[in-house]
């Protein structure tokens, strides 16, 4: 079967880093029999400039027809003055909503070669490999009613609603358990069930879904303790699953444990496992066009795509091993450079990964 991949480079460093990821995909096609068909589309500021919309109809159709989507990044100074409805970021949010990408996977992996980049002690983080599964399309960020109202005494009151249906909890639970089956088979569900009824239900549904995955061990943790444990002893976690807002906060905290924004991939999946894959960083307009950006987060996003949407775990392992191998060789882009390493450009890093793949 030919894998249909929609490639949306976006803005800023997006095209440069996506270019290197495509070289990796082409190597998998030419040397390892990976059948693929790549189609390019515009998204974000580039799409707005060309068509007046950050998510043109043609891009949406392309994304809908694909088996998986690879995205660079969107945004830049030149579009900051635009009305919020047509800002580049709307392209990204539109894709997530239109494709119902409710399951956000954010790994926090610290390659042992980069352990000194973390603000935490090396012993605490070296070898870190956590997968945070964040519910992305529900919870307090979307719940109604919401707003700011004026009370009878004239005082203003802000309000939002934390709300989850059982079916929404069930589908994110299945997502987390299925991922755990491909890893160390441990899921920690993070909630605040001692205070919030909504997450009491969350916990109950997690327990129910867990029965379908007898090989996976489920544990529960209150979010305040989870935040503490993430910086105290992060290696205790395998898969963490949590609500939209808790996941937003905990995944940034976990990402920072690794200290290197240019290294972290992410995925957003729908119910059938189709997904959009992108680095967690933005379009880095300050370094765009200079051939200095780190392409490894995007290349590792390709590995996630192979594993989670295209059922090619062996190829995913191969890509991740190749990334480990270039780090072993001491090759570093500017963002992860240290005195004892060798500084390389974006394209040199991409070429080194391709060379390592072929070994």
Tell me the C-alpha distance between 115 and 340, whole Å. Answer: 14
Query: Out of 4, 49, 129, 141, which one is annotated catalytic?
Result: 141
Residues contacting residue 105 through CB under 8 Å, at least 6 positions apart:
131, 132, 133, 134, 179, 266, 267, 268, 269, 304, 308
What are the DSSP E strand ranges found in 180-288? Answer: 186-191, 217-222, 239-242, 265-269, 275-279
> According to the binding rule CB under 6 A, does residue 59 interact with ligand NAD?
no
b/e sequence 141-172, b meaning 16+ C-beta within 10 Å? eebeeeeeeeeeeeeeeeeeebebeeebbebb
Candidates 155-163, 182-190, 226-234, 289-297; binding stretch for ligand NAD (CB under 6 A): 289-297
Q: Would you say 110 or 198 has its CB closer to ligand NAD?
A: 110
> According to the binding rule CB under 6 A, does residue 95 interact with ligand NAD?
no
Q: Write the binding mask 16 to 55 for ligand NAD: x where contact by CB under 6 A, - elsewhere.
A: -x--------------------------------------
The residue from 8, 74, 110, 269 that contacts ligand NAD (CB under 6 A) is 74
- The nearest distance, CB 44 to ligand NAD, in angstroms, is 7
Q: Would you say 138 or 279 has its CB closer to ligand NAD?
A: 279
Candidates 70-78, 204-212, 215-223, 351-359; binding stretch for ligand NAD (CB under 6 A): 70-78
- Ramachandran category for residue 68: left, alpha or beta (phi over 0 → left; psi -120 to 50 → alpha): beta
Q: Where are the alpha helices (DSSP H) in 211-273?
A: 223-232, 244-258
Query: Out of 224, 317, 328, 358, which one is annotated catalytic?
Result: 224
Tell me the C-alpha distance between 54 and 89, whole Å. Answer: 8
Q: Would you say 171 or 281 has its CB closer to ligand NAD?
A: 281
252 is an active site residue: yes
Q: Write the binding mask 260 to 279 for ligand NAD: x where contact by CB under 6 A, - elsewhere.
A: -xx---------------x-
Q: Is there a contact between 342 and 332 (Cβ–Cβ < 8 Å)?
A: yes
Query: Out of 67, 191, 248, 270, which one is annotated catalytic?
Result: 248
> According to the binding rule CB under 6 A, does residue 283 interact with ligand NAD?
yes
Q: Would you say 3 or 266 has its CB closer to ligand NAD?
A: 266
191 is an active site residue: no
49 is an active site residue: no
- Judged by DSSP in three states, 260 sits in coil
H/E stretch holding 236: none
Distances (CA, A) of 151 to 72, 145, 160: 45, 16, 16
The residue from 125, 287, 310, 327 that contacts ligand NAD (CB under 6 A) is 287
> According to the binding rule CB under 6 A, does residue 76 interact with ligand NAD?
yes
Q: Enumerate residues 334-353 that contact ligand NAD by CB under 6 A.
A: 335
192 is an active site residue: yes
- DSSP letter string, 4-43: EEEEEEESTTHHHHHHHHHHHHHHHHHHH---EEEEE---
Q: Which residues bind ligand NAD (CB under 6 A)?
A: 13, 17, 73-76, 89, 92, 261-262, 278, 281-287, 293-294, 297, 335
Q: What amino acid positions are annotated as catalytic residues? A: 141, 192, 224, 248, 252
């Amino acid at each position: 079967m030919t894998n249909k991949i929609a490639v949306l480079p976006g803005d800023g460093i997006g095209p440069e880093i996506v270019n290197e990821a495509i070289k990796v995909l082409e190597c998998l096609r030419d040397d390892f029999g990976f059948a693929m068909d790549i189609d390019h589309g515009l998204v974000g500021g580039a799409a707005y400039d060309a068509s007046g919309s950050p998510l043109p109809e043609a891009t949406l159709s392309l994304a809908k027809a694909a088996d998986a989507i690879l995205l660079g990044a969107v945004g830049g100074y030149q579009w900051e003055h635009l009305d919020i409805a047509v800002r580049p970021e709307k392209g990204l949010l539109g894709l997530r909503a239109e494709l119902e990408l409710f399951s956000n996977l954010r790994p926090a992996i610290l390659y042992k070669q980069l352990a000194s980049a973390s603000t935490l002690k090396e012993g605490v983080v070296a070898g870190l490999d956590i997968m945070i599964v964040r519910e992305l399309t529900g919870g307090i960020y979307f719940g109604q009613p919401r707003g700011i109202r004026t009370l009878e005494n004239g005082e203003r009151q802000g309000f939002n609603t934390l709300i989850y249906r059982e079916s929404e909890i069930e589908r994110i639970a299945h997502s987390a358990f299925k991922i755990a089956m491909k890893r160390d088979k441990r899921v920690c569900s993070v909630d605040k069930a001692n205070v919030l009824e909504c997450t009491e239900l969350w916990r109950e549904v997690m327990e129910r879904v867990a029965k379908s995955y007898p090989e996976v061990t489920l544990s529960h943790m209150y979010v305040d303790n989870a935040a503490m444990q993430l910086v105290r002893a992060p290696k205790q976690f395998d898969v963490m699953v949590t609500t939209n807002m808790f996941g937003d906060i905990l995944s940034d905290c976990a990402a920072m444990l690794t200290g290197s924004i240019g290294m972290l991939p992410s995925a957003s999946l729908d119910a059938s496992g189709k997904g959009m894959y992108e680095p967690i960083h933005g379009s880095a307009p300050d370094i765009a066009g200079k051939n200095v950006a780190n392409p490894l987060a995007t290349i590792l996003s390709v590995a996630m795509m192979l594993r989670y949407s295209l059922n090619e775990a062996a190829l995913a392992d191969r890509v991740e091993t190749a990334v480990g191998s270039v780090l072993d060789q001491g090759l570093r882009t500017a963002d992860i450079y240290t005195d004892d390493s060798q500084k390389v450009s974006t394209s040199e890093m991409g070429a080194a990964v391709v060379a390592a793949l072929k070994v």
